[in-house]
Structure 1
Amino acid sequence: VGLDFDAEGRVAGAGGLFLQAMPGASGEALDRVERLVYGMNSLGETFATGATRLDVCLRSFPFFDYNHLDEKPARFNCSCSKERLGSYMASLPGSELDDMAANGPFPFTAVCHNCGSAYEYSRADLETMASERAGGNSSQVV
């Protein structure tokens, strides 16, 4: 796995490699692959320069014959939403939720730990969460 960041700290390139020995693979071939992998440049840096997955395979494993069968894009997908983060906030201890609703800051901003998306909650949103929690109704959160 490799990561490369730009000057602002954002991911410029990222990559990982998954290799699996096929039945009948010789120990010599596996040793050779292992040496090649240890000698590879950072995949993050490689992909940040615009290289493709096929480029990486051709450059990194030039001595092996293989059949390029298919390519599927790898994508990061975060399923966060304002509602989902709101439900996590609603599960905080009542005293913390009451304190947030009373003292803010407003709007209160919650940031997804996985993707960095920010969601804002008004005082009314927090008061609703706190009152629904106190009443035992957590089915409708923000």
Structure 2
Amino acid sequence: MIYRPLPAPVQKALEHIPEDGLDVFLLAGGSIRGVIVQAARLIHQARANHGLSPIETTVLGRGLLTGALHSGGLKGKDRAAFKVHSQGAVGGMSVEANVLGEIRGYLQNSIQEQDIPADIATTGPSHDGRHYRDTLMQISDRILGSGTLSVTRFPEGAREPATSTVAFADTGLDQVFESFYLQSEQVPTRIWTSFAWDDTLMLQSAAGLMLQTLPESPRHSREAFLPIVQYLETLDLRRQLAELSLQGKPASEIARQMFADFDVEIVGSKGIEFFCSCSKDRFGTFIQGLPAADRNEIREHGPFPLDVTCHYCGSRYAFSREELQELLG
């Protein structure tokens, strides 16, 4: 992967917020499982590598945050892939996450101004930036339209991956994933993703929270789950996540503060990052594996250099005529 440099103002801002990370915790005597992530650096790197607008950053960023939240439950060498197929202008997105906290993903299509629902004002931020932040979240809730979410798991040691698919219609991405967990896994789940932007449209914080009942004790879990969710519904949770992140609080401290009345216990932590395993060597191997007719066409007519781009991370690799001749013989 080739990391594109972050703008100097972004690098300076990141000096004052916690490192990206993920914490897994239990509530209510171990009957509820939670995952909380802070991922401002991850989202900034995805934005830089893909060249995303604020709206595109919000849409893809929510998918990346959800991938990070899901990685909190992976074990061994497990990994998971999420594919959203949408009838909306964005077309969909793909996100992958593994047990190491390495997250990557991309949008199927870019989002143009004319793709934004006409009834949502996008004239710019108010003096405190809150109006525009909320507008971006509204747009990301509406831009998908209807479609399907497919989740493919690659468990360590399994002979074949397992894929589950659920349909959705005109709902936000958080709710799409909640529906997946309930319909496919029979696990009641709530997900919140949060972003804070300043008046220059620089991302200041990105955080996510997921709560789930534990399958091994469904009755106890569900009895404890409802009052916690009802409590959270009384809060402006997205705003609270953003504000606590901007105060420099790490994810574990946010969880302890937010759930102080629910017997919170931190049971695991790890780092997360925007990372892709692509490389020029891997693309070279792919070129060598093309059908003979395609290899001959490239060998004779190029183009030179041959530029290839990784969909997942936006890294671009250029193969000169000499490199192609060496690869293709």
**TM range, normalised to the smaller chain?**
0.5 to 0.7
Structure-1 residue corresponding to 2:186: none
1:83 deviates by: 0.9
Structure-1 residue corresponding to 2:213: 21
**In structure 2, distance between residues paired with 1:94 and 1:14:** 46
For the Cα contact (< 8 Å) 1:98–1:127, is it kept in 2?
A: no
The structure number with the bigger radius of gyration is 1
* Uncovered stretches (5+) of structure 2, i.e. residues with no partner: 1-36, 62-202
1:14 deviates by: 5.3
Aligned pair in 2 of structure 1 residues 100, 71: CA closer, same or farther (>3 Å)? Answer: same
TM-score (norm: length of structure 2): 0.32
Structure-2 residue corresponding to 1:92: 290
Matched residues, percent identical? 30
Amino acid at match of 1:21: T
Structure-2 residue corresponding to 1:137: none
Alignment of 1:107-126 (within 5 A): 107-126=305-324
Structure-2 residue corresponding to 1:105: 303
1:63 deviates by: 3.6
* Uncovered stretches (5+) of structure 1, i.e. residues with no partner: 132-142
- Corresponding position: 1:80 with 2:242: no
Aligned pair in 2 of structure 1 residues 41, 120: CA closer, same or farther (>3 Å)? Answer: same
TM-score (norm: length of structure 1): 0.62
Deviations 1:41-63, CA, capped at 9 Å, x for gaps: 28x96798566323552465454
Between stretches 95-104 and 67-76, larger displacement belongs to 67-76
**In structure 2, distance between residues paired with 1:60 and 1:99:** 60
Where 2:318 maps in the other structure, the secondary structure is strand
Aligned pair in 2 of structure 1 residues 127, 70: CA closer, same or farther (>3 Å)? Answer: same
Alignment of 1:7-86 (within 5 A): 9=52, 12=203, 16-22=208-214, 23=217, 25-35=220-230, 36=232, 40-41=237-238, 49=246, 52-54=250-252, 56-58=254-256, 61-86=259-284
Aligned pair in 2 of structure 1 residues 27, 21: CA closer, same or farther (>3 Å)? Answer: closer
1:33 deviates by: 4.1
Aligned pair in 2 of structure 1 residues 33, 86: CA closer, same or farther (>3 Å)? Answer: farther
- Corresponding position: 1:127 with 2:325: yes
- Alignment size in residue pairs: 131
Amino acid at match of 2:314: G
Which structure features the higher share of strand residues?
2
Where 1:68 maps in the other structure, the secondary structure is strand
**In structure 2, distance between residues paired with 1:89 and 1:62:** 55
Quick one: higher RCO (CA 8 Å, sep 6+), 1 or 2? 2
Amino acid at match of 2:310: C
